[in-house]
Amino acid sequence: MKRIAVFTSGGDAPGMNAAIRAVVRMAMYHKVEIFGIQYGYRGMIQGDIIPLQSRSVSNIIQRGGTILRTARSEEFMMYEGREKAFNALQQNGIEGLIGIGGDGTFKGLSKFMEEFPVNVVGVPGTIDNDLYGTDYTIGFDTAVNTALGTIDKIRDTAAAHERLFYVEVMGRDAGFIAVDVGIASGAEYIVIPETETNIDDLREMLRHYRKDKSSAIIIVAEGDEEGNAFEIADKVKDAAGYDYRISVIGHVQRGGSPSALDRCLASRLGAAAVEKLIEGKTGIMVGEINWKINEIPLEETWKKHKRVQPHLLELARILSL
C-alpha cells in the first residue's frame, strides 16, 4: 500500500478532525503517501483530492466539524458516478480509502468495493451511536454533553417557573442520545424510537409527579413514532396541570470542540484504520469494544441492529421517582 486517501461523509460529528489527524500521521509514520478528499463522495467524483502532510493537520484535534468538509452526493448512488470516482482515484494512484462517517458512508464504501478494485476501511463517525460493532461512535460523547449542558440550564428555569419542559434531542432512528442525556439530567421521562410510547401512561405519570414535583423534564428523541416534541406535547396537553414549554436543541449537538473521550477514540480508530489497510484488510469498519480495537464487515454495521439497553430506561424511571 503506497498511497491512501481519507474523506468524511454524511453528517459531521465532533472528533472527525482528530480522526483525520490520526490517519495522516499514522500513514506518514509507515511512509505511506496520504491524500485528503474534500466534500466526501462528491469531491471524489470531481477529483477534489489534495496531498496531506503532517503540518496539514496541526492544531485541528480540538476543532469540531471537519477540515475536509462533507457533502451528500446523489451522483455517487449511480454506477456512472462511482466509475468517475474510481477514475479520479486511479489518476492519483490511490489504492486504499478510509471513510469517516455513518451507515450511509459505509453503504457507499461497500458498493464501491464490490464494483472496483480498491481497498476500503470505515471509521465510525456519527453522533447517533447507532453503528453495530463498536461501543461508541466518534461524536456521540460530545453530542450528549452538549445537550446535557443545555438541559441543565432548562432545569433551572423549569424549577423557577414550576413548568414542564419537553426537550427534543437528535435521534431520528436511534435513542442513544436521549437515553444518556435523560439519565444524566435526571429527566422524568424519556421518549425514543425503539420503544412504543403510550400517551395515556405519560399523562398518568405526569399526574402522579404533579402531586409533589413542581417541575419536570421529558426528553424526546426526534424520531419517536408518536411524533416530535411539539406533537407529543399537543397529545398530552394540560392533562397533568403543568404549564409547559418546548425546547428543540437541534444541530448545536453536531458542533463544538470534541470531548477528551471523542478525541482519544478518534485517534485510536484513525490510526487503526491505516494499519488495517497496510495489512491488506478491506471491507471492514474499525470500532472499539471493551476498550479493544474491533473489526467488523461493513455490511454488518447496518444490517445488525445496535439496540438501546431496556434496563437503562427502567433505571431512568426509577431514579426519577
Question: Which of these is catalytic: 12, 48, 103, 128?
Answer: 128
- State the Cα–Cα distance between residues 51 and 32, nearest whole angstrom: 12
- State the Cα–Cα distance between residues 266 and 279, nearest whole angstrom: 20
Q: Looking at residue 239, what is its pLDDT? A: 65
CATH topology of domain 143-254: Rossmann fold (3.40.50)
What class has domain 3-139+258-303?
alpha beta
Please answer whether residues 270 and 21 qualify as being in contact, where contact means their C-beta atoms are separated by less than 8 angstroms.
yes
Q: Looking at residue 260, what is its pLDDT? A: 98
Please answer whether residues 115 and 82 qualify as being in contact, where contact means their C-beta atoms are separated by less than 8 angstroms.
yes
Fold agreement between 3-139+258-303 and 143-254: yes
Taking every pair of Cα atoms in the chain, the longest distance, rounded to a whole number of angstroms, is: 70
- State the Cα–Cα distance between residues 59 and 301, nearest whole angstrom: 31
Using the structure block, give the residue that is written with the C-alpha cell 414549554: 245
* Residue ranges of domains in the chain: 3-139+258-303, 143-254
Q: Looking at residue 23, what is its pLDDT? A: 98
Q: Which residues contact 298 (CB under 8 A, 6 or more apart)?
A: 106, 107, 109, 110, 113, 120, 122, 283, 284, 285
Long-range CB contacts (within 8 A, 24+) of 156-161? 158/215, 158/216, 158/217, 158/245, 159/214, 159/215, 161/215, 161/243
Q: Which helix (H) or strand (E) holds 185?
A: helix 176-185
- Of 94, 145, 96, 150, the closest CA to residue 123 belongs to 96
- pTM for the model: 0.94
Q: Which pLDDT tens digits describe the chain residue by residue (321 residues)? A: 899 999 999 999 999 999 999 999 999 999 999 999 999 999 999 999 999 999 999 999 999 999 999 988 999 999 999 999 999 999 999 999 999 999 999 999 999 999 999 999 999 999 999 999 999 999 999 999 999 999 999 999 999 999 899 999 998 889 999 999 999 999 999 999 998 898 988 988 888 888 888 889 999 999 889 999 999 999 987 766 788 999 999 999 999 999 999 999 999 999 999 999 999 999 999 999 999 999 999 999 999 989 898 899 999 989 988
Please answer whether residues 137 and 266 qualify as being in contact, where contact means their C-beta atoms are separated by less than 8 angstroms.
no
Q: Looking at residue 211, what is its pLDDT? A: 85
Q: Looking at residue 91, what is its pLDDT? A: 97
Please answer whether residues 306 and 173 qualify as being in contact, where contact means their C-beta atoms are separated by less than 8 angstroms.
no
128 included as an active-site residue: yes
